[in-house]
Structure formats: structure tokens, C-alpha cells
Structure 1
């Protein structure tokens, strides 16, 4: 247990130093909030059912996304995960796939692919022909989609048992039909430390900043008659680092039940956000999750995340959280995880709730 208290200050100190370090890019106009935000929605039915508390817990192919250091605790030789979810009544499709394997007893590799997109968007700029009549066969359709490929590597280092490090090299492609696209490149780094039933983790996303270079097709992005909107120029978009510090604890319950509790603190550096702890230097969003297991076969999960202060219909400020629930079944290497997450969306006269169902399938081969 003494190692836990020696490692915890190290992780806290590292995260604080990185968050508070001066960043020249933050003063540039090309550093917007929520850049590449599609990579922060989360992946995997287990993780999303637990409120996205996975930085200290991930131990399968999804670790390439949550914390690549966790790839070293994979329980099978090969592991693969597929996920599909739909947001806002199916308008937005979120798909994910990952594969991982050990290289030897001290290292492991993985690859992850993420796509978030809206398909079949109608381009009606040519709906009215040269004679002033509506001509429906002139409607064209396009997609807006964000893609990311993460190549992960993890390794055990030093003489401290349970200490692991990992890193991602990621390639990002963002596409808006024939009108614009962007390529981006970035690096993530992660640490995990295990001691007994305790697990600690730190994930640094976009640790070197991630730069997206946007290319605009001005010929295709022509305005309609009477529209004075300026066509944007080619530009670069910089994603600033974010850090997630996590702790987890496994508790054995009577019978063959177990409880796995986790807490993550996500720290963003791209300006003041509407989070529980909010400042211009750093904003901190806490998340909590719990998983109850029986014989490592059946799991019931719950979590809370996205704590925000919102304006109620009465005009007063209220704190709201995003709850999530999930169930999982693991049998003969096959894992089926389903999660239900409740999103709050704005509507005229107040806020409403919409449910997001996430389904993921994993398979491990010994």
C-alpha cells in the first residue's frame, strides 16, 4: 500500500505541471474550444455505462483509446472490440473498432478507429432551376464525418511492479463533403499503476497539441444567390492538451459478488468551461462510476458525468449531471456490453432529455 501513496503524488504533480505549463498556441486565433471534440465522446459500452471512468481501469482493446498503458493488463492474447451508437434520434452515427495484442511480457500494441458522422445531408442550392422551377433531381447529398486512427504502444518500465506507460500516435481526418477537409496529427501519453485492489491512472491527450490543417474547396462552397456570407480560407486548428487523472478500487462483496468503484478528474486547458471547477487556466470535470459483478460473468453499471450549471425555466441556476446505466455479459471470451446515457438538449422554453443507447461487442482469444 505504501507504493500507492508514493505514486499518487507523482501522478498529481505531473498532471499539475503539464496543465499549468505555459502554452504559446493558446494565444492564437486558431485555438478554439472543443477542437476535435468527437474524440472525447467516449467508446465502449462498459466505459459509457460507468460515466466514462476508465483511465485507471481499461484492460482490453479499448485501453488504446482510454489509456494505452492498460493494454499490458489484457487477459487474452488477442482482443477486439466493436461499438455502434446513435445520437439525437439516429441523426449522428458513432462507430468504433479496436484490436490489441502483446508483443512480449513487457510490451503490447493496439490500433483503434473512430468515426462520428452525419450522412445524407441535402444540398439544395440548385433546387431551383434556371427557369425558376423546383427540380428535385437537382438535390445532391453529402456526409460530414470525423475519423481518427490511433496506433498504441505500451510497456512496463522500471523496477516498480505494477507501473506501466503507453502512448498513442493518432491521425485525424475531418471531412465536410466536397467542401472542406482537414488532416491532423497528435500524440497521447498515459500511465497506470496497480497495487493490490487499487488502480491509479493518468492520461494526457494531445500532449504536444494536435494541429488540423483545413483545406477549403472554394469552387464547391459557392454561396447561393443573395447570400453575402464569406467563404472561409484555408487555416490550421490547434487542439490544446487535456488531462484525466483517475483512481479505481476493487471491493470483494459477500458471496461471489464484486464492486469496482472509480473516479476520474478531467482537466481541460482550452479556456473556461461550464464545469464543476471552472477557471481561465484550467477547468475540471469530475466523473464517477460503479460496476457490480457476479462471478465475472454478469455486470450492472452506473455512472454520472458532465456536471454543468444550467439556466432553469424559472430563471434560476441549477446543477445538472448526465447519468448513465449499463449491463454486461462475459462468456467464453465473448463480451456484450450495453449502455444507456441520458443527454440534455436545448429546446424552446427549457431543456429536454434524450436517451443514447450504446452497444459494444468484444472478443478475446487466448
Structure 2
């Protein structure tokens, strides 16, 4: 039934529509983001709770906690706290849009206001031989000025990782749930179907991953990521995500002088990670063209 649900959604995701709760699409963990979020078939650590809950079904039996924070563009920020004890995991996501300028229908200022979002998530994985399955449930709360909305969602995931094989395949359906209703208007959640493949080569020192994703609020996209551990305790990461040419031109301000420096590398991701005595520290850089760049930090501990 899980596989059928994943495949059944593919045609429905072809028609793009506006969606709410976009903070659910900001990712989790600097390791995954540094690899361009090509993580559906990787899903081998605490970030599985976000990208593919099937990854919770197998791995180290110990406990792990991770805190992640991102300074995003235009004074927005997202903070996340996750706890994992396989096959269970929990994730809290808090997003703040900072101070926003309010205006009435005539365009006159009405004072500043803010927008804040919160998501609470519980996940579990199950192992069925070489096949792993997982599911998550979410409670989502959004508040804009004096208006609020609550919705519910679920994630479903599959992961095929034969024992002793360096290759894995994964699929996930995320944010399948109720619509978000603000006053009289209702909006769907950012539903997304993903499929991916990964390979751990050179005795695990090199990790390569590819993802294809089909969202309900935009065109299909491909993601690619790599992680290299040439020195013990240090990991270097690169990633890439495809965007339609029109969107790239708009973000990079083509025709208006463009942008330069790191911000011009829209679509590329980069990161670095350090691990020592059960602690991990990861950083990811996300260029957003004319909007600037986002910086994601994650601190983890295994015990």
C-alpha cells in the first residue's frame, strides 16, 4: 500500500499550484543541504526524519540529537531541533519571517507585523529485509499578523539498501495532508514526490547521490550531491539543483546588470563537516542570486 501511494501521486504533481507553509521546504541539516538535498536514497543519519523516514529503520542503535539553524535571505530564519533513537525520531521546526511592513489597499503604511510558523513531527521506520519503510505525522501551525491556521500532514518513504552493497534506492512522498486555511482562503501544503539513488564508493570515502523531485507548486527538478571524506573527521560537500531558465534569470537579475560573487552561483550548494568523539559540526552555503546567500549550521551529538 505504501508503494502504491507513492506511485499514485506522480500524475497529480504535474499541475503546479500555489502552496502555503513554504517553510516546510527549507530542508534540515547542513550535511544534506551541502549535498544539494539529494538525500532521498542517502537517509543514513538523523536527517532521515526530514528527507526519508525509511532511513530510521536501520543503523546505529544509539541516540542522536541535532540542532540546526539557518540565516536565510531577507532577515528570515529557521531553527530546528531533532532527536533520534532508531526506529523513532522527532523534529521541531520554527520559522520567523522577521519584521514585515504592513500596507493598506491604498498603499499607505499600517505598521510592522511578523509571520511565524511551527511544525511538530514524529517519525518511525520499519525494516523488512533489504527494504526499509517509514512514515511521519506532522502538526503545522502558521500565524501571520492576527490570523492563524493549523493543518496536518504525513510523509511516507521507502529505501532499498541491500546488506553489503554500496548502492541504495529511495522514494518519498512528503507533506501529504490537509489544506491551510487563512480566513476564507485555502491553500495546499507543498506536496512533493521524490525518487533517488546513491552510491558509497572508495570504501565509503566518496558518496554520490542523485534525486528527481516532482512538487505540486512548481516544475520537476533534478538534484545531485557529493560528499568526500579524504581526511578522518572532515567531509567536503557539493550539490546542485536544476531550475527553469526563467526563474534563474529572475533570481540572477539577468538584464539588470546581474549579480556577482558567491550569490551568482544560484543552484549550487557547498558545505563542510567535522566529526570528533561523537560530536558533529556542519556548515552549508546556499547562494540565492540577487537575494543574497543563506548559511546553515548544524550541531549534533551521538550518545
TM-score by length of 2: 0.83
1:213 to 178, 181, 190: 181
| Superposition pairs of residues 304-315 of structure 1, within 5 angstroms | 304-310=240-246, 311=249, 312-313=254-255
Q: Give how far 1:117 is off.
A: 1.1
Q: Give how far 1:76 is off.
A: 4.7
Count of residues in correspondence between the two structures? 282
Residue 77 (structure 1) aligns with: 62
Alignment pair present for 1:113 and 2:125: no
CA contact (8 A) 2:19 2:190 kept: no
Q: Deviations over 1:93-115 (max 9, x none)?
A: 1111110113xxxxx11110112
SS of the equivalent of 2:23 reads: helix
Alignment pair present for 1:175 and 2:135: no
Cα 1:49–1:197 change in 2 (3 A) is: same
Structure scoring higher RCO (CA < 8 A, sep ≥ 6) equals 2
CA contact (8 A) 1:307 1:321 kept: no
Q: Give how far 1:298 is off.
A: 0.9
Residue 289 (structure 1) aligns with: 225
SS of the equivalent of 1:239 reads: coil
Please give the alpha-carbon distance, in whole angstroms, between the structure 1 residues aligned to 2:13 and 2:76: 36
Q: Which has the larger radius of gyration?
A: 1
Alignment pair present for 1:17 and 2:1: no
Please give the alpha-carbon distance, in whole angstroms, between the structure 2 residues aligned to 1:22 and 1:262: 23
Q: Deviations over 1:314-354 (max 9, x none)?
A: 89xxxx8511110001111101001111112xxxxxxx362
Q: Give how far 1:213 is off.
A: 3.0
CA contact (8 A) 1:53 1:264 kept: yes
SS of the equivalent of 2:18 reads: coil
Q: Deviations over 1:288-335 (max 9, x none)?
A: 0000013651100000114221243189xxxx8511110001111101
Q: Which structure 2 residue ranges, 5 or more long, are not aligned?
A: 105-109, 258-264
Residue 153 (structure 1) aligns with: 124
CA contact (8 A) 1:183 1:214 kept: no
Q: Which structure 1 residue ranges, 5 or more long, are not aligned?
A: 1-9, 103-107, 126-138, 216-233, 274-282, 345-351
SS of the equivalent of 1:61 reads: coil
Alignment pair present for 1:354 and 2:301: no
TM-score by length of 1: 0.70
CA contact (8 A) 1:19 1:269 kept: no
Q: Deviations over 1:133-172 (max 9, x none)?
A: xxxxxx9754211211111111112xxx321101011110
Q: Give how far 1:241 is off.
A: 3.4
Residue 162 (structure 1) aligns with: 130
Please give the alpha-carbon distance, in whole angstroms, between the structure 2 residues aligned to 1:314 and 1:22: 33
Please give the alpha-carbon distance, in whole angstroms, between the structure 2 residues aligned to 1:187 and 1:358: 25
